[in-house]
Amino acid sequence: MIGYDTLSFFKVKPYWIYVLVSLSMILLTACTETQPRINYPVTDLSKAPLIPKPLQVTPTGTAFGLDAKTVIFTDSTVGFLEVGQLLANSISARLPFKIPINPKQEVDAPRTIRLQQCDTLPMTSPEAYRLNITNNTVLLQARTAEGAFRGMQTLKQLIPEQRNDTLAKLPMWLLPSGTIRDTPNFPYRGVMLDVARHFFSVEEVKQFLEVLAYYKYNTLHLHLTDDQGWRIQIASWPKLTQIGARTEVGGSMGGFYTQEDFKELVAYAAERHIVIIPEVDMPGHTNAANLSYPIFHAKGRAETPRVRTDMKVGYSSFDTRKDTLYQFLDEVIEEITTLTPGPYFHIGGDESMATPKKDYINFIEKVTHIVNSKEKYVIGWNEIAQADLPSTAVVQFWNDPKIALKAAQKGLKVILSPAKKIYLDMKYDSLSKHGLDWAGHITVKDAYDWDPETYIPNLPEAQILGLEAPLWSETIADLTALEYLAFPRAIGYAELGWTPKELRHWEDYRLRLAAQKPYLKRRNIQYYPSPNIDW
């Protein structure tokens, strides 16, 4: 029977509507599959939980669909291809497809990511970058490969951890569109890892480096020597590791980096545009060296060297009055600086309580001279500012603001590492599984909610080279414990170093930090799940 009136059709046979709607949906999806287009607002770039927060974000309300049809193109300028390759690797490690980079043949590339060297960026820092995302292109521009690498981290953070497309059959990961202009507030943003109190393997340090790079750190300072162990092979003085590397805090077996290992770490860091700064701590904190070569021990002034696996400080010293000591140090510094492309060598200089002040000052000046003769600049803990130093020397403030201020007034640059705010080895609270508490407890909020710019009153901001978060390792023996103390606090310090004061707000930061959880989980990082954060 035919001749339904319209009304009765709708009343009697409503399922026809479903059939029609479903058919058109299938057709629509089929079109989307061949030529996906996202022309509706899906996300807002200004709400992306980026850390560190960029300088300027302008959303445009659409999205770029990252999918199997995306292609990366890079300029041939030195280093850009490598940055593109790291991006491609990280995409293929996370997503179910590989994307080609600079394909030789013509390819059907409806969506492209382009890494472009650009001399006309208005921001002058080598780490500055501009990111422009439209619905079919991502353009990352920077003066240098370093800038491109930092921008690439922003891009990685914009790739959602969960697939967030709706219609597309071809899986897509939607990145919010818009423009980001970004440049760091401080040129030096570092973490220190103490591999002397407990040794950490090349593999463990690499894993740590990977996370630091994601949050735009550019420096890893390795505290290579201390009373409990000497951790780097020195060919001309083999006993330093044959004897000095055998122990660590608690009595377990220590370890050391061969020169090949160290080169491997330096290269791995360099690929991530992170500079490694080696530290040989002296004239105190030298029990392991003095145990290996007792002729350099300050007999009668410092405690007799023996295997030390305790956590005491301030009892050891080189014999700073012995001429042969400086020949020894020249050779040690020569070997280490040869392996280190970065501009700095850290001479320690802290807590030399067993060295008379006059001898200490004389020693620091002589060692600075040796380091400078290898065409490296000196960095040392704030005590070194008692000596007469060249203006290229950098003072790392940890406990004495007066001396740091004096050094700055003399024209020296200062790295801020105030123990009360930025020591990663301090406990979060009394319940912390690891850590010390001599400088107090540092919660995730305490770690973030302060201003390095004004921490030392009257210190001109121009004299601040940057920020470094030291992780002393007396209480941590493995990567799990390391990650517990370092994360999430080191994520906050990354922002303190990169993002200017006016853009930092705890309430906004804590939401962005909570949004790091899927990334941290994916990388299996054993962070401390702070109750300050709604994870």
Query: For residue 424, how many other CB atoms are within 10 A of its CB?
Result: 24
Q: What does 368-386 look like in DSSP terms, one character per residue?
A: HHHHHHTT-EEEEEGGGGG
Nearest distance from C-beta of residue 520 to ligand TNX, angstroms: 25
Q: Give yes or no for residue 436 binding ligand TNX (CB under 6 A).
A: yes
Nearest distance from C-beta of residue 452 to ligand TNX, angstroms: 17
Nearest distance from C-beta of residue 345 to ligand TNX, angstroms: 16
Q: What are phi and psi of 233, to 5 degrees?
A: -65, 130
Nearest distance from C-beta of residue 460 to ligand TNX, angstroms: 24
142 vs 249, which CB is nearer to ligand TNX?
A: 249
CB 118 within 8 A of CB 93: no
For residue 345, which of 325, 373, 318, 322 has the smallest C-alpha distance?
A: 373
318 vs 423, which CB is nearer to ligand TNX?
A: 423
Nearest distance from C-beta of residue 313 to ligand TNX, angstroms: 5
Helix (H, G, I), strand (E, B), or coil: what is residue 432? coil
The C-alpha atoms of residue 248 and residue 275 are separated, in whole angstroms, by 26
67 vs 425, which CB is nearer to ligand TNX?
A: 425
Site for ligand TNX in 474-503 (CB under 6 A): 474
Nearest distance from C-beta of residue 196 to ligand TNX, angstroms: 9
How many residues are present in the chain? 535
What's the number of CA atoms in the CB half-sphere (13 Å) around residue 193? 28
Strands 173-182 and 56-66, bridge-based pairing: antiparallel
199 vs 472, which CB is nearer to ligand TNX?
A: 472
Q: Give yes or no for residue 472 binding ligand TNX (CB under 6 A).
A: yes
204 in active site? no
The C-alpha atoms of residue 206 and residue 225 are separated, in whole angstroms, by 19
CB 385 within 8 A of CB 463: no
Catalytic residue among 351, 453, 461, 502: 351
- Fill in the per-residue mask, 326 to 355: x = in contact with ligand TNX (CB under 6 A), - = not in contact: ------------------------xx----
**How many positions of this chain bind ligand TNX (CB under 6 A)?**
10
C-alpha 320, offset from chain centre: 36
Q: Give yes or no for residue 313 binding ligand TNX (CB under 6 A).
A: yes
Exactly one of 248, 279, 425, 468 binds ligand TNX (CB under 6 A); that residue is: 425
Q: What are phi and psi of 192, to 5 degrees?
A: -110, 140
Site for ligand TNX in 22-81 (CB under 6 A): none
The C-alpha atoms of residue 265 and residue 212 are separated, in whole angstroms, by 14
182 vs 468, which CB is nearer to ligand TNX?
A: 468
Exactly one of 199, 360, 381, 448 binds ligand TNX (CB under 6 A); that residue is: 381
CB 84 within 8 A of CB 71: no
Q: Which residues are the active-site residues?
A: 351
User: Which residues of this protein are in contact with ligand TNX, per CB under 6 A?
Assistant: 313, 350-351, 381, 398, 423, 425, 436, 472, 474
